Amino acid sequence: MPLEIERKFLVANDVWRAHVTHSVEMRQGYLTREGQASVRVRLEGEAAKLNIKAAVVGSARAEYEYDIPPADCRELLATLCVGRVEKTRHYVPAHGAHDGAVWEIDEFVGDNAGLVVAEIELQAADAAFEQPAWLGRELTDDRRYYNHYLALHPYASWPETERG
């Protein structure tokens, strides 16, 4: 079974911006409201993908991903999705982790503006990695920061006291 193992954090400051190698605009939506799986379609620059992920909370989740035609993806986003998220994903090389590891830093826009989240994909849930100085509180086990949750309950709708 293809497993996605990742850990997720808030960012504490903007120092990471100096290390961005590239950025991609992403627009994604969900075909499921609840259930055992989330089904997501996403435009990533010129590409489009459909993704199925087990709806469990934690660092390791079964994940399946397929390319789909971008035109289909745009239609699905416009018609059949029950929640949407827009963000820019910035890529920052990670140091001290396994070869080629990269921080993916999602800067949300629209109804989730103000939220910036950093994720790193690991080979194992307990794999060591260097925590850069700009890293904030860990969110791995907090389902409110899952994109599926943000699509249905955008950050702008959260009580002030629950943000950050």
Determine which residue in the list 11, 26, 37, 115 makes contact with a copy of itself, applying CB under 8 A.
Answer: 37
60 binds a copy of itself (CB under 8 A): no
Query: Is residue 11 within a helix (H) or strand (E), and if so which, with residue range?
Result: strand 3-11
Stretch that binds a copy of itself, among 19-27, 74-82, 122-130, 133-141 (CB under 8 A): 74-82
Gap between the Cα atoms of 84 and 152, Å rounded: 8
Min separation Cβ 157 and a copy of itself, Å: 20
* Residue 93 identity (one-letter amino acid): P
Determine which residue in the list 35, 46, 99, 100 makes contact with a copy of itself, applying CB under 8 A.
Answer: 35
- Of 121-150, binders to a copy of itself (CB under 8 A) are none
Catalytic residue among 30, 66, 149, 155: 30
Place of tokens 């969110």: 139
- Separation in Å, CA 16 to CA 4, 34, 41, 118, 134: 24, 34, 28, 10, 7
Min separation Cβ 102 and a copy of itself, Å: 25
47 binds a copy of itself (CB under 8 A): no
32 binds a copy of itself (CB under 8 A): yes
Determine which residue in the list 46, 79, 126, 133 makes contact with a copy of itself, applying CB under 8 A.
Answer: 79
Gap between the Cα atoms of 13 and 134, Å rounded: 5
Count of C-beta atoms within a 10 Å radius of residue 19: 16
DSSP string, 20-82: --EEEEEEEEES-SSSSEEEEEEEETTEEEEEEEE---SSEEEEEEEE--HHHHHHHHHHT-S
30 part of the active site: yes
Task: Considering the complex, state which of residue 75 and residue 138 has its C-beta at the smaller distance from a copy of itself.
Answer: 75
1 binds a copy of itself (CB under 8 A): yes
State the catalytic residues. 30
